[in-house]
Amino acid sequence: MAILRTILTIIFVLVCIVSVILVLLQEGKSAGLGAIAGAAESYWGKNKGRSMEGNLVKGTIALAVTFFVLAIILNLNF
């Protein structure tokens, strides 16, 4: 069981590092001056789920769920 705990801890640390990187790669949610000129209604604004930014958000959510699941598993006394 010690080997399993060590492997899960290594995966947990990697998930933490990758999640920090993904959060830092994301753009801010404030619209800024682009919203005044209507830039939010551009092609990238309408298809944000398929863009790189949308993929970063989905990856961040998946890593957050993985983080919490691993945290709960590692907190169990097995």
Q: Please write the tens of the pLDDT for every residue from 43-72.
A: 555 566 678 888 999 999 999 999 999 999
In single-letter form, the type of residue at position 43 comes to Y
Cβ-count burial 20-48 (b if 16+ within 10 Å, e if not) = eebeeeeeeeeeeeeeeeeeeeeeeeeee
pLDDT of res. 44: 53
Instruction: Tell me the mean pLDDT in the region 28-34.
Output: 64
d(CA 45, CA 49): 9
Name the average pLDDT for the chain.
83
The phi-psi region of residue 32 (left if phi > 0; otherwise alpha if psi is between -120 and 50; otherwise beta) is left
Instruction: Provide the residue ranges of all domains of the chain, joining segments of one domain with +.
Output: 13-24+36-78
The secondary element (H helix, E strand) that includes residue 45 is: helix 43-46
Count how many Cα atoms sit within 13 Å of the Cα of residue 56 in the half-sphere of its side chain.
13
